[in-house]
């Protein structure tokens, strides 16, 4: 397992985050931040974790309009921070998944329960022969549990076994990167290119105000 510099729980500096988003996206983005801040507070009060992930999934699926990185950011492959996604209101599958990940951590969810998963998605359903790279967020209620999949393609959250349209490639969070998706997996990947992009994202998120 490969470790990074974020702790197992992520807090945030609200004043710093607000300053970050308004400086870059203007005063109108303040209300977007207040809505997100309320989401975090309300989610933290919910005892049922299934309801927590549902609330966060629905929020971000409504707040971001899907757009390819080239059109949204002028780059072929850009991983946006949560405040960038919130302020810009546009992003691709990575941006949705990252925003949901940081939101649930900020609401107090343990990092071991969350993994971002790169998958091959069958476009048009399980019987389709057309696939493309895609990212989703997985939630594990416990290490033995089947992951629940948070996806910008669907508002409903389903267990992985019901997502026959998705084929996992690798999974990761702020603690490491794995070749599989099992919460008990301890085999680390050595793909530094993928890790460097994630490390860059974590560095920029800390600069925004995530702690």
Say which residue the tokens 């019901």 belong to: 162
Higher pLDDT pick, 185 / 116:
116
Distance from the Cα of residue 120 to its chain's centroid:
17
Higher pLDDT pick, 137 / 180:
137
What pLDDT score was predicted for residue 123? 82
Q: What is the mean pLDDT of the chain?
A: 88
What pLDDT score was predicted for residue 184? 60
- Confirm if 1 and 176 have CB atoms less than 8 A apart: yes
Q: List the domain range (segments joined by +) for residue 121.
A: 14-208
| Total count of domains within the chain | 1
Examine the pLDDT at 90 and tell me if it is beyond 90.
Answer: yes
**CA 138 – CA 116 distance, rounded (Å):** 6
**CA 63 – CA 73 distance, rounded (Å):** 17
**What does residue 158 show for φ and ψ, rounded to 5 degrees?**
-125, 155
**Is residue 181 situated within a structural domain?**
yes
Per-residue pLDDT tens for 159-191?
A: 999 999 999 999 999 888 888 776 665 555 444
What pLDDT score was predicted for residue 190? 42
And the tokens for 89? 């209101």
**Is residue 185 situated within a structural domain?**
yes
Per-residue pLDDT tens for 16-62?
A: 999 999 999 999 999 999 999 999 999 999 999 999 999 999 999 99
pLDDT band at 3 (very low <50, low <70, confident <90, very high): very low
**Is residue 5 situated within a structural domain?**
no
- Coil, helix or strand for 36? helix
**Is residue 34 situated within a structural domain?**
yes
What pLDDT score was predicted for residue 6? 40
**Is residue 178 situated within a structural domain?**
yes
Percent of the chain with pLDDT over 70: 88
And the tokens for 158? 């389903």
**Is residue 3 situated within a structural domain?**
no
Q: What is the CATH number of the domain that holds 61?
A: 3.10.620.30
Examine the pLDDT at 198 and tell me if it is beyond 70.
Answer: yes
pTM here?
A: 0.90
**Is residue 118 situated within a structural domain?**
yes
What pLDDT score was predicted for residue 2? 33
Query: In the chain, how long is the greatest CA-to-CA distance?
Result: 48
Give the mean model confidence (pLDDT) for residues 57-71: 96
**What does residue 116 show for φ and ψ, rounded to 5 degrees?**
-85, 135
**Is residue 67 situated within a structural domain?**
yes
And the tokens for 98? 């990252």
């Amino acid at each position: 397992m490969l470790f990074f510099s974020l702790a197992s729980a992520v807090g945030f500096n609200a004043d710093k985050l607000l300053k970050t988003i308004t400086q870059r996206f203007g005063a109108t983005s303040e209300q977007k931040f207040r809505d997100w801040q309320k989401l975090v507070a309300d989610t933290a009060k919910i005892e049922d974790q299934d309801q927590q992930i549902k609330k966060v999934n629905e929020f971000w699926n409504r707040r971001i309009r899907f757009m390819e990185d080239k059109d949204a950011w002028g780059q072929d492959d850009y991983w946006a921070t949560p405040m960038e996604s919130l302020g810009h209101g546009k992003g691709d599958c990575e941006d949705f998944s990252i925003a949901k990940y940081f939101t649930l951590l900020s609401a107090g969810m343990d990092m071991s329960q969350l993994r971002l998963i790169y998958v091959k998605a069958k476009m048009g359903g399980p019987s389709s022969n057309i696939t493309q790279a895609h990212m989703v967020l997985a939630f594990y209620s416990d290490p033995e549990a089947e992951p629940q999949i948070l996806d910008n393609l669907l508002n409903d959250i389903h267990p992985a076994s019901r997502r026959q349209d998705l084929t996992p490639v690798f999974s990761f969070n702020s603690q490491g990167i794995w070749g599989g998706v099992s919460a008990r997996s301890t085999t680390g990947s050595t793909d530094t290119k993928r890790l460097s992009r994630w490390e860059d994202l974590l560095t920029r998120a800390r600069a925004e105000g995530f702690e």
